[in-house]
């Protein structure tokens, strides 16, 4: 009986003590919450108002006096990251948004913002890459597209890195190749008279070999066989391969089929197995120069035909020019920009990579080149 009484008394005392503790803890917590809330209101006012050094000083002193630095430091980083997310989600991001973010960080007294600035720089790189991809979709970079590109770069406050400068220069080369404005390069090999070099890189020379297989039920198979390594050259007259064991000279008029690949080209002369040249140094540029080869050879009729035949074939070319305008939806009065614009639209619809017919796309490319010859 006496023990039960002691237990009950102890229980009551425990409740009283717990209640007192909870009361004071709650009171302290509410006080701290009130202090933090006031500091947060002051910070929000500071962020949303012009520069206010006095308010910055008041916040610093208030936080220090009330020993709530830990909570306020956490809130500042949370607020800063929220502002960063707002910047990163803007579809029309500009240098002004970056400057505004830096100003907010300065107001909050946060100096270590390298991780946040790295994310902003990554956004700039994405914007630049997206624009470069858009401009490079048709391999043609117009003056207006380039001006717009640099306006965007200036707007976002970016500096082009080496990779981006290289991509831009590559686009300029593609445009020059398509329009017949590519400058010739120095050749380490002796070329023919009136022959200029426009492309050269290391390459391997290969052929497709067919095998019957072994055994009664063997299945025939094919395999690409390496024949030589050396350099492939593209001039205004021919494709030249200078290897360690042999040299191949393929004149344009002897080529029956030209197939571009992402890592090389295949050339079929009809008299032998197709020659496959593998190289990684911009097969696209090689293909564009080849497709526009007529723009680099102003004496093609003199080279291909006798004097008596030249007039006939030039007239034949003039007749074909009407078809060129028709197939691209143009007229003889169309400007260079209109020709390029029409060709870009054709690329979007008929390029083999877009599901179009390769032969028809080749005809479109030849039509574009023929029209540009008359304009240039």
Structure tokens at 8: 């009950």
pLDDT category at 372 given cuts 50, 70, 90 is: confident
For residue 311, name the pLDDT band (cuts at 50, 70, 90): very low
Burial 21-31 (b: 16+ CB within 10 A, else e): eeeeeeeeeee
- What are the backbone angles phi and psi of residue 222, rounded to the nearest 5°? -120, 155
**Residue predicted with more confidence, 265 or 368:** 265
Same fold, 197-296 and 305-375: no
At a CB cut-off of 8 Å and minimum separation 6, what does 353 contact? Answer: none
Range in 18-32, 99-113, 182-196, 325-339 the model is least confident about: 18-32
Which of residues 239 and 374 earns the better pLDDT score?
239
C-alpha torsion 174→175→177→181, nearest 10: -140
Residue with tokens 């003039």: 318
55-96 pLDDT tens trace: 888 888 888 888 888 888 898 899 999 999 999 998 899 999
The pLDDT value recorded for residue 164 is 95
Q: pLDDT for 257-298, tens place per residue?
A: 999 999 999 999 876 789 999 999 999 999 999 999 888 865
Q: Which residues contact 322 (CB under 8 A, 6 or more apart)?
A: none
Q: Which CATH architecture has domain 305-375?
A: Orthogonal Bundle (1.10)
Tell which wins on pLDDT, 289 or 212.
289
Q: What is the pLDDT of residue 358?
A: 63
Query: Mean pLDDT over residues 140-155, rounded?
Result: 93
Give the residue-averaged pLDDT of 11-35. Answer: 76
Average pLDDT over every residue of 353-368 = 70
Residue 368 confidence (pLDDT): 84
Listing DSSP states for 273-324 in one string gives SPEEEE--S-HHHHHHHHHTGGGG-TTHHHHHS-HHHHHHHHHHHHHHHHHH
Residue 193: predicted pLDDT:
83
Give the Cα separation of 38 and 24 in Å (integer).
21
pLDDT given at position 295: 85
d(CA 21, CA 31) in angstroms, rounded, equals 15
pLDDT at 298: 53
Name the least confident of 50-54, 121-125, 213-217.
Answer: 213-217
pLDDT (tens digit per residue) in 119-143: 999 999 999 999 999 998 888 899 9
What's the pLDDT at 364?
Answer: 76
233 vs 198: CA distance, rounded Å: 8
Residue 235 CB neighbours (<10 A): 24
Given this model, what pLDDT does residue 319 score? 39
- The alpha carbon dihedral of 81, 83, 84, 90 has a sign of positive
Q: Residue range 232-248: average pLDDT?
A: 91
Least confident of 41-45, 158-162, 345-349: 345-349
Class of domain 197-296: mainly beta
Measuring CA to CA, which residue among 122, 289, 291, 130 is closest to residue 197? 289
Domain residue ranges of the chain, discontinuous segments joined by +: 2-112, 119-178, 197-296, 305-375
């Amino acid at each position: 009986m006496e023990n039960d009484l002691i237990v009950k008394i102890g229980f009551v005392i425990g409740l009283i003590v717990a209640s007192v503790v909870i009361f004071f803890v709650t009171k302290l917590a509410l006080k701290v919450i009130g202090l933090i809330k006031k500091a947060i209101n002051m910070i929000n006012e500071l962020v949303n108002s012009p520069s206010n050094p006095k308010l910055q000083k008041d916040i610093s002193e208030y936080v220090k006096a009330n020993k709530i630095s830990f909570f306020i430091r956490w809130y500042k980083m949370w607020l800063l990251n929220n502002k960063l997310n707002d910047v990163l989600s803007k579809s029309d991001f500009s240098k002004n948004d970056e400057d505004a973010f830096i100003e907010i960080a300065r107001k909050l007294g946060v100096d270590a913002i390298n991780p946040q600035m790295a994310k902003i720089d990554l956004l700039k790189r994405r914007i630049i890459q997206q624009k470069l991809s858009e401009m490079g979709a048709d391999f043609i970079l117009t003056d207006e597209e380039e001006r717009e590109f640099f306006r965007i770069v200036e707007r976002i406050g970016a500096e082009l890195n080496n990779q981006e400068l290289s991509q831009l220069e590559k686009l300029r080369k593609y445009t020059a190749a398509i329009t017949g404005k590519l400058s010739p390069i120095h050749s380490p090999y002796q070329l023919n008279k009136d022959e200029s070099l426009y492309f050269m890189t290391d390459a391997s020379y290969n052929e497709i070999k067919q095998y019957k297989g072994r055994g009664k039920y063997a299945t025939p198979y094919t395999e690409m066989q390496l024949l030589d390594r050396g350099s492939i050259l593209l001039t205004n007259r021919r494709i030249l391969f200078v290897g360690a064991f042999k040299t191949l000279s393929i004149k344009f008029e002897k080529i029956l089929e030209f197939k571009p690949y992402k890592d090389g080209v295949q050339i079929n002369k009809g008299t032998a197995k197709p020659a496959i040249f593998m190289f990684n140094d911009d097969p696209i540029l090689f293909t564009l120069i080849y497709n526009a080869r007529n723009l680099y050879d102003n004496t093609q009729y003199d080279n291909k035909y006798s004097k008596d035949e030249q007039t006939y074939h030039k007239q034949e070319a003039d007749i074909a020019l009407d078809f060129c305008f028709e197939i691209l939806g143009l007229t003889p009065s169309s400007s260079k920009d209109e020709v390029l614009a029409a060709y870009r639209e054709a690329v979007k619809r008929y390029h083999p990579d877009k599901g179009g017919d390769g032969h028809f796309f080749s005809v479109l490319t030849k039509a574009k080149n023929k029209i540009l010859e008359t304009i240039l």
